[in-house]
Amino acid sequence: MDIRKTKEFIGFGVLKSAAVIVLLALFAILYFVAARGIKVINWEFLTQMPRSGMTAGGILPAILGTFYLTICAICFALPLGVAAAIYLTEYAKQGRLVRIIRIGINNLAGVPSVVFGLFGLAVFVKFCGFGISILSGGLTLGILILPTIIRASEEALMVVPRSFREASLALGATKWQTISKVVLPNAVSGMLTGSILGIGRAAGETAPILFTAVTFYSARLPRSVFSEVQALPYHIYALMTEGTHPEAQIPIAYGAALVLVSLVLGIDLIAIIIRNRFRRRKKW
Amino acid sequence: MKRARKENLIKRLFCLFSLFSIVFLLGIVIVLFKEGLPIFKVTSFGKFFFGKFWYPTYEPPDFGILPLLLGSLWVTAGALIIAVPLGVASAVYISEVAHPKIKGLIKPAIELLAGVPSVVYGFFGMVVVAPLVQKFFGLPVGLNALTASILLGVMAIPTITSISEDAISSVPKSFKEASYALGANRWETTVKVTVPSAAGGISTAIILGMGRAIGETMTVLMVAGGAAVIPRSFFQPVRTMTATIAAEMGETVVGSEHFHALFAIALVLFVLTLSLNIGADVLTQKFRKRLR
């Protein structure tokens, strides 16, 4: 074997091992959470209230809280995001306005999540007077996932071929008729993927809801959008850092982490599968 | 012309909706300035940025963010040392070496890695990584800058890998073919032609990965140890700007000096990540122009 071939062999080997290390990191996380979490999870754990100051019982309020927050976030962000994507891909001409909007979207995506939390605290909790509530937290999460939804919806709209639009316009349809009857129905599965990814992101975030929505312990389930809630991510954090019985709290945290990871990664996996299938099949 | 008017109205409505991202971004800027600037009534600019002590609840309080700023930069640097080689090498492997079937497996796996919630990284760090680090290096505590860097590094890898991979696979085929035609093998082509041509995109990826690490909150809050001192080694506990905000905001009185100081930290953090994003944007534009 000559020296150039040896170099190639070693080089590719190094690249491959880097990829293997990255995969191992993912599997290590999933394995530890799953192996220890599964021992804790049973029907009672998922459907009962916590007992004895968070050292026993289930995590039902945290699961429900995450569910409510996510629904609230998506209800807010999906219409806004889809509308913005429609404007950017269907109506807007390249120019200063579009450039500014794009800068806004890109930079909003890069804002640290804890800063969203402060924004939510100042605007929704204090200024709007919603208090620490599902509504405040949901709106904050909604702003956080807006860029994700806009980008995914734009991608979905852009893959609809130009000829579809031209055919519709040639038949005398107006722009809006073309968009609502031709473009949107063909882009809907792509948009669905985007919103699913947004849901996954919203369900897993902790910092934005830290001062806008959550409480460590509530004796009752939330009654309205103005109630404060427990949430899975915050529950894990609180179990690990607060309280005085780590030996009882850590197993519960394992269980909650497994529920959260399965929820978020399950959601992501569904989105990835839908998207890949959609990309492959639609060749028009 | 009723139809035309209706069409126009719809267009304007959509335009209005698309402006919301800008409105929110501006809203964040306004809130941060409005709530952050009042801190400079009680402390000077110099004392805030270069003060070595962060004792917000003492009497009189000290609002020096230097240890927090350096703490953030310290763990971010550590994270990049881990994430850049692994992330870029994985990207090169995925786009240049891997069989399409393996590629179809690795890419979703990396997306999943990006999807793991940060609180789960923090949890994993506390129960698995920290004890390992403590035992391996014989340290008194496992919750320190090194543990935080390792976890932040893993969290930054998906950003770096996916953007680098896009850049590498968008290198024109003709570049590689020219290299092969000159007698170079695949490795030589990858190292001397493909990767250098994608350098702009890879730098963008690294900058965005850095932004991700600097802005990360829950993981560092849980594993970095939380000591607000100027970092001197990777084996000591540190505290970042994000962790400080997250840990202390819940206990402050709205409108107090401490409250304003935390918003001022958020403003610094925001300006930092904004400059990183704009830097990445400018690089991408340049890179695109050059490839054309």
Query: Which pLDDT score, from 0 to 100, does residue B240 have?
Result: 94
Contact A114 B19 (CB under 8 A): no
A92 CB neighbours in chain B (<8 A) are 15, 18
Q: Is residue A144 part of a domain?
A: yes
Cα B36 from Cα A56, distance rounded (Å): 41
Contact B224, A241 (CB under 8 A): no
Count of CB pairs separated by less than 8 Å, A with B: 261
Work out the burial of residue A6: count CB atoms within 10 Å of its CB; fewer than 13 is exposed, 13-18 middle, 19 or more buried. Answer: exposed
Cα–Cα distance, B204 to B283 (Å, whole number):
6
Domain contains A92 = yes
Q: How far is CA A172 from CA A163, A165, A176, in A?
A: 14, 11, 12
In a domain, A47, yes or no: no
Chain A nearest-CA distance from B232, in A, is 26
What residues of A are in contact with residue B92 (Cβ under 8 Å)?
15
**Closest by Cβ to B281, choosing from A86, A106, A203:** A106
Q: How many domains are contained in chain A?
A: 1
- Residue keyed to tokens 């550590």: B78
DSSP for A159-219 reads TS-HHHHHHHHHTT--HHHHIIIIIHHHHHHHHHHHHHHHHHHHHH--HHHHTTTB-S--S
Whole-structure pTM value: 0.91
Q: Does some domain include residue A275?
A: yes
Sort out which chain B residues have CB atoms less than 8 A from A28's CB and list them: 124, 128
Distances (CA, A) of A18 to A25, A30, B75, B151, B198: 11, 19, 21, 16, 19
Give start and end residues of each alpha helix (H) in chain B: 2-18, 20-36, 45-50, 66-92, 100-115, 118-124, 130-137, 145-169, 173-181, 186-189, 195-197, 199-215, 218-223, 241-248, 257-291
Quick one: pLDDT at residue A282? Answer: 62
- CB contacts of A263 in chain B (<8 Å) are none
State phi, psi for A171 to the nearest 5 degrees. -80, 0
Write down all domains in chain B, each with its CATH number in brackets: 48-291 (1.10.3720.10)
Residue A34 lies in a domain: no
Q: Does A58 touch chain B (CB under 8 A)?
A: no
Domain of residue A82, residue span: 60-281
- Is the bond preceding A147 in cis, omega lying within 30 degrees of 0? no
Cβ contact A143:A202 at 8 Å: no
Block residue for tokens 């009672």 = A44
What does the buried/exposed string (b/e) look like for A72-102 if buried means 16 or more CB atoms within 10 Å of the residue's CB? bbbebbbebbbbbbbbbbbbbeeeeeeeebb
Residue B61's pLDDT is what? Answer: 86
Instruction: Give pLDDT < 70 ranges for chain A.
Output: 1, 53-54, 218-219, 279-284
Q: Tell the residue number behind the tokens 């920290």, with chain if given.
A: B130
User: 3-class DSSP state for residue B30?
Assistant: helix
* pLDDT at residue A97, as a whole number: 87
pLDDT value for B29: 95
Residue ranges of chain B whose pLDDT lies below 70: 1, 290-292
User: What's the burial of A47, exposed, middle or buried (CB within 10 Å: 0-12/13-18/19+)?
Assistant: exposed
Which positions ≥6 away from B289 have C-beta within 8 Å?
A: none
How is residue B51 annotated by DSSP? -
Would residue A79 count as lying in a domain? yes
Identity of the residue in A8, A22, A112 whose CB atom sits nearest the CB atom of B90: A22
In a domain? residue A18: no
| pLDDT value of residue B292 | 57
ipTM of predicted complex = 0.91
| Residue A2 located in a structural domain | no
DSSP B249: G
Q: Summarize pLDDT for A67-108 with one digit per residue, the tens.
A: 999 999 999 999 999 999 999 998 888 888 888 898 899 899
Q: pLDDT value at position B119?
A: 95
**pLDDT at position B1, please?**
67
Specify the amino acid at residue B35.
Answer: E
Residue of B nearest to A127 (CA): B31
User: Comparing C-alpha atoms, which of B108, B115, B124, B214 is closest to residue B165?
Assistant: B108
Residue type, A72: C
Nearest CA distance, A116 vs chain B (angstrom): 8
B218 CB neighbours in chain A (<8 A) are 206-207, 233, 237
Cβ pair B215:A113 closer than 8 A: yes
Q: What is the CATH number of the domain that holds A254?
A: 1.10.3720.10
Show Cβ contacts of residue B283 under 8 Å, excluding neighbours closer than 6 positions: B200, B203, B204, B207
Query: In chain A, what residues touch B19 (CB-CB under 8 Å)?
Result: 101
Considering only CA atoms, give the Rg of chain A: 23
